[in-house]
Amino acid sequence: MREAKELTGLPSSTLRYWEAQFPGFDPRKDGHGNRFYRKEDIELFKRIKFIRDELKITRLEAIRAELQANGRNTDQRQKAIEILQKVRQELANIRKKI
């Protein structure tokens, strides 16, 4: 759970809630109930977060529909934004050095 929080920037309560609300999550649980998310789970969390934050779609039904209808388009947009954010950070670092 801790690693999933760090990778997604989401609180554990949101991760658990989305796990219950969206199909496709399949975390492994140990005997104490601790969750161990797969890479696919982390990517799904990131896609849902992108739809919510970047596309401004907040209703669960609408997010589910977006995941089903435009999964590929959403993935491409999400990857493009992640690349642009990395470039922006690199440029900011270069600017500080100048």
What pLDDT digit, counting tens, does each position of 19-52 carry?
Answer: 999 988 989 989 998 999 999 999 999 999 989 9
Do residues 74 and 66 lie in contact, with contact meaning Cβ atoms separated by under 8 Å? Answer: yes
Q: What is the pLDDT of residue 73?
A: 64
CA distance 43 to 94: 30
Q: What is the pLDDT of residue 48?
A: 94
Residue type, 45: F
Q: What is the pLDDT of residue 74?
A: 65
Domain of residue 64: give its range. 2-97
Tell me how many domains the chain contains: 1
Q: Where are the alpha helices (DSSP H) in the chain?
A: 2-8, 12-21, 39-53, 60-69, 71-97
Q: What is the pLDDT of residue 62?
A: 93
Which CATH number belongs to the domain containing residue 32 in this structure?
1.10.1660.10
Q: Work out the pLDDT band at 83, boundaries 50, 70, 90.
A: confident
